């Protein structure tokens, strides 16, 4: 049996005599977790997969800023205030009309609780 808890990205495999008892406890403690029997599910390695490469090719620093901002539950105005810039600048960044500099990348990383290097252009 495999258990995947979506929000915390935990992947656990259970086997043996006590697997069902442990799974029962996990189901109670983590109601949003996905429980899959190994025979029922086919898992594919994410790194290097075709889908991972396609998504990486379409991902821009601006799209990442938007995704992390939405995940944090912040509006453009709230994030702009947190990093000390104006919201039209962030809007331009999110729409890939403006490049993110090192200083702003560090502030965004801090405000959004992610590694700032995610917001820097590849090869920059």
Residue extents of the structural domains in the chain: 2-36, 52-119
Which residues are CB-neighbours of 81 under 8 A, at least 6 positions away? none
Question: Contact, 118 vs 111, CB < 8 A?
Answer: no
* 52-119: CATH, from 3.40.250.10, 3.10.450.50, 3.40.50.150, 1.10.260.40: 1.10.260.40
Evaluate if residue 111 carries a pLDDT over 90: yes
| 124 confidence band (pLDDT: 50, 70, 90) | very low
Q: Confirm if 38 and 19 have CB atoms less than 8 A apart.
A: no
Q: What is the pLDDT of residues 100-109, one digit of tens each?
A: 999 999 999 9
pLDDT tens column, 25-79: 888 887 777 776 665 456 667 777 787 787 777 789 999 999 999 999 999 999 9
Q: Do 102 and 117 touch, CB atoms closer than 8 A? A: no
The pLDDT of residue 121 is: 74
Give this prediction's pTM: 0.57
Give CA separation, 79 vs 14, 83, 99, 110, in Å: 41, 6, 17, 11
Rounded-to-integer distance, Cα 72 and Cα 12, Å = 26
Residue that the structure tokens 């995940």 belong to: 71
What contacts 24+ positions apart, CB below 8 Å, involve 23-28?
Answer: none
pLDDT of residue 41: 54
């Amino acid at each position: 049996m495999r258990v995947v808890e979506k929000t915390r990205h935990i992947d656990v495999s259970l086997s043996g005599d006590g697997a069902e008892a442990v799974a029962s406890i996990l189901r109670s403690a983590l109601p949003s977790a996905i429980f899959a029997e190994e025979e029922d599910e086919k898992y594919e390695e994410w790194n290097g997969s075709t889908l991972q490469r396609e998504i990486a090719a379409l991902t821009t620093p601006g799209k990442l800023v938007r995704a992390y901002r939405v995940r944090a539950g912040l509006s453009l105005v709230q994030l702009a205030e947190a990093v000390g810039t104006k919201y039209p600048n962030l809007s331009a960044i999110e729409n890939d009309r403006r490049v993110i500099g090192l200083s702003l990348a560090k502030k965004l990383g801090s405000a959004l609780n992610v590694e700032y290097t995610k917001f820097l252009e590849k090869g920059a």
